[in-house]
Amino acid sequence: MEYINRNRLFLASCTALVVTSMTFAIRAGMINPLGVQFGLSNEQLGWIASMAFLGFPIAVIIGGLVVDIIGMGRLMVVAFIAHLAGILLTIFASDFWTLLISTLLIGLANGTVEAACNPLVATLYPENKTTKLNHFHVWFPGGIVIGGLIVYFMNQAGLNWQWQMSTMFLPLLAYGYLFGGQRFPVTERVAVGVSTSEMYSAVVSPLFLFMVLCMFGTAITELGTNQWIDVLLKKVTDSPILILVMVSGIMALGRSLAEPVVHRFSPPGVLLASAILAALGLYAMSIADGATIFAAAAIFALGVTYFWPTMLGFVSEYIHKSGAVGLAVIGAAGMFATFIFQPVIGAVYDAALAQALPAGAELAAYKAAAAGSTEAAAYADAQVLAGPSILRRMAFIPVALTVAFGVLFFMRKRLEHRRTRA
């Protein structure tokens, strides 16, 4: 039998996830410049950002349905091509529509990476799935740190967003090389002989559907906030992109230390604690200013650190018959919810800005006002009020998750018994 190099496959998966997460960080830094360069409203910017979150669930669902048939290696070829096309089209974008299409392509690529790599990691490490999925997902915040620092230092050097996007070619070529010529295992479901009917029965079970609803909230809390942090906190702190870098750095460190945390508190316990901290962090960020906002952001970071990989790990461990399709549906649910929420954030932010401006003021005119003018000063004051108000509203989502995960936590013994029997 041909040798499966699981260390190289895991490294290649992590590198592919770096590309995925760099797109989030660099796009977060691009939102303001794109608005200025192409004369776009915050709602239009929200639609552009949302395309990544639309492409992701489309790709991850299709990928989850076909991965058992065509294999994880072929899916990664599709991801590589879509990443390459999306990055190139973004760099050479000329208007709203080319930005929309290029971001959709990148979203499709990102979803294909998750559709292939989540079941790949679970299959490579069947004895320690939740921990290894956390280790794999270190590189989502890890890539955001890399991308955020690229944005910050290239901005300081006067290099525009096109140059920032071009840096993603390096990890893209790296994961293409690492995956090249490697033998991939069959998925865990195929290996253990779980039938297709059993898989689909697991995907429509009450527990699975409950986790899908929870994934809506965890994804919006993490990704919705992080994608807009540069805009929402632009006038609250001089370096909002560094807040994103710090949040992502804490997330990466936390996920690298996941093993003792998950084993000590169990997946339901980790999710409950995460929801509580995320709610406290969002509220604290909404009332903080100056240096204290970094402390508030650190609390938020601790809250969202384990959300995504522990949700995947919970499904893989407690509803393991759902297989690659279960992981795909959970990931797709999170990204689809974030897709729906992106333009909502933009529209609500525009409304909050308009409310904070003088009566009868035209938002577009104040946004485009020359620096130093009365209108520009009024717009800056409106930003100071509007951004934190959005964060306060978003804090209600992890509050609801606290209740949901509290129920899950108190059902833990029943869940453990179910997992043992399975």
Q: What is the pLDDT of residues 217-257, one digit of tens each?
A: 999 998 888 777 766 676 556 667 778 788 888 998 998 88
The pLDDT > 90 percentage for the chain reads 33
**123, amino acid identity:** T
CA 262 remoteness from chain centre: 21
- Among 1-10, 195-204, 231-240, where is mean pLDDT lowest? 231-240
Q: Are 274 and 306 in contact (CB under 8 A)?
A: yes
Predicted local distance difference test score (pLDDT) of residue 108: 94
**Average predicted confidence (pLDDT) for the chain:** 86
pLDDT average, residue stretch 6-26: 92
Q: Are 102 and 168 in contact (CB under 8 A)?
A: no
- Whether the predicted pLDDT of 422 surpasses 60: no
Query: Which top CATH class is 6-421?
Result: mainly alpha
Predicted local distance difference test score (pLDDT) of residue 102: 92
DSSP state of 186: P
Predicted local distance difference test score (pLDDT) of residue 1: 40
Cα angle at 33 between 31 and 36, to 5 degrees? 110
Structure tokens at 170: 């390096």
Predicted local distance difference test score (pLDDT) of residue 129: 80
Q: What share of the chain is helix, strand, coil (3-state, %, to 5)?
A: 85, 0, 15
H-type alpha helices, 292-411: 292-304, 307-318, 323-356, 363-367, 374-394, 396-410
3-state secondary structure of 234: coil
Domain boundaries, the chain: 6-421
- Whether the predicted pLDDT of 384 surpasses 50: yes
Q: How far apart are CA 225 and CA 28, in angstroms?
A: 10
Predicted local distance difference test score (pLDDT) of residue 190: 66
b/e 354-392 (16+ beta carbons within 10 angstroms → b): eebbeeebebeebbebeeeeebeebbeebbeebbbbbbe
* Top mean-pLDDT range of 40-49, 62-71, 411-420: 62-71
Q: Are 199 and 323 in contact (CB under 8 A)?
A: yes
Q: How far apart are CA 89 and CA 101, in angstroms?
A: 8
- Among 10-14, 60-64, 93-97, 232-236, where is mean pLDDT lowest? 232-236
- Whether the predicted pLDDT of 56 surpasses 90: no
- Among 69-73, 128-132, 265-269, where is mean pLDDT lowest? 128-132
Element (H, E) at 2: none
